[in-house]
Amino acid sequence: MIILSTKRRRILISRLIFDFINQVEAKLARLHCESRSIDGLDVFYHSNTKHFSNDKPVLVLLHGFSADKYVWNRFAKRFSSQYHLIIPDLKGYGQTAYSPTDDYSVPSQCRMLLALLKQLNITRFSIVGNSMGGMMAAKLFDEMPERIDKAVLIDPAGAKSPFAQNMIDNNINPFEHNNEQDFFNFYDLIMAKPPFVPRFILRALAWEFINKREQYTHMFTQFFNLRDFYSRDYRFDYPESMLIWGLNDKLLPVDDFTHWKLMLNSNTLIYEDLGHMPMVEDVKRVSKDILSFLNKH
């Protein structure tokens, strides 16, 4: 018989409450959870349809490092009527399992995503990605522009900048937390206007980060490497893209925005009052702007 301490019990209950809220929000967005086996790995994803017909275009939503498919719940609700949605838990995140022997670089995550889309018989799609997901979107439209209708990059990672070099040289990992306060400091970095989350749930999320410290260290090392990043003089030949940036982003510097702006030469939208996750911080405004771009012919 396993006896949990009072603290562990509180954390477990808090996490269950958070999961329940996420599941309710997913249902309100008309999303259901599915999974497909990709090279022996069960990849979980949210979708609003079981059959991908030609009556609606497909929109893929990609989360960032340490997030999962639920981060898109409120955003997805505003797109469900116009798009077939695919919102995966990338390898090692959410319900898609982690393995210490797997590859968590952006190229590897892209291969997994393409394998999933192949199983679903999806050949063309638009894509919206935040942070690491934004970098994935860039790699996909760079390598196969004929398959991407439109792409939106929200505060993307992947700029081969002095900031990135400094992070690597000094072995800095903002996702590596030893205690609750480390997590709370991190939480203050990622959003300028975070939605309300009760403190007891944040505490549960903090302990989840602490328990996954080795996992996130391994995954971050593979994801955050200059080999896969883009230098300032790189130029993407893809006009149907949009770069969104929250100027209050404290996780990635404004210099990275300038870096991406030069590389993309695309539509640019800046939110002066938002941070690293604009689509979470102001769902109504950001979803309206993205819908306008996606629906523009």
In a domain, 1, yes or no: no
In a domain? residue 41: yes
Q: Which residues of the chain are under the pLDDT cut of 50?
A: 1-3
The pLDDT of residue 77 is 96
Q: Are 242 and 290 in contact (CB under 8 A)?
A: yes
β-pair type (125-130, 241-246): unpaired
pLDDT tens figures, 130-143 = 999 999 999 999 99
Give the CATH number, domain containing residue 148.
3.40.50.1820
Instruction: Return the pLDDT at 1.
Output: 41
Q: Is residue 186 part of a domain?
A: yes
The domain in which residue 148 lies consists of 6-93+100-294
pLDDT tens per residue, range 187-229: 999 999 999 999 999 999 999 999 999 999 999 999 999 999 9
> Residue 3: its pLDDT value, please?
45
Please state, in angstroms and rounded to a whole number, the distance separating the CA atoms of residues 198 and 81: 31
Residue type (1 letter), 205? L
| pLDDT score for 49 | 87
Residue-level pLDDT at 10? 83
Task: Give the separation between CA 286 and CA 297, rounded to whole angstroms.
Answer: 19
CA-to-CA distance for 10 and 16, rounded, in angstroms?
A: 10
What's the pLDDT at 296? 87
Position 288 scores a pLDDT of 98
Number of independent structural domains in the chain: 1
Distances (CA, A) of 162 to 140, 169, 188, 253, 255: 24, 10, 23, 10, 9
Burial of 171 (0-12, 13-18, 19+ CB in 10 A): exposed
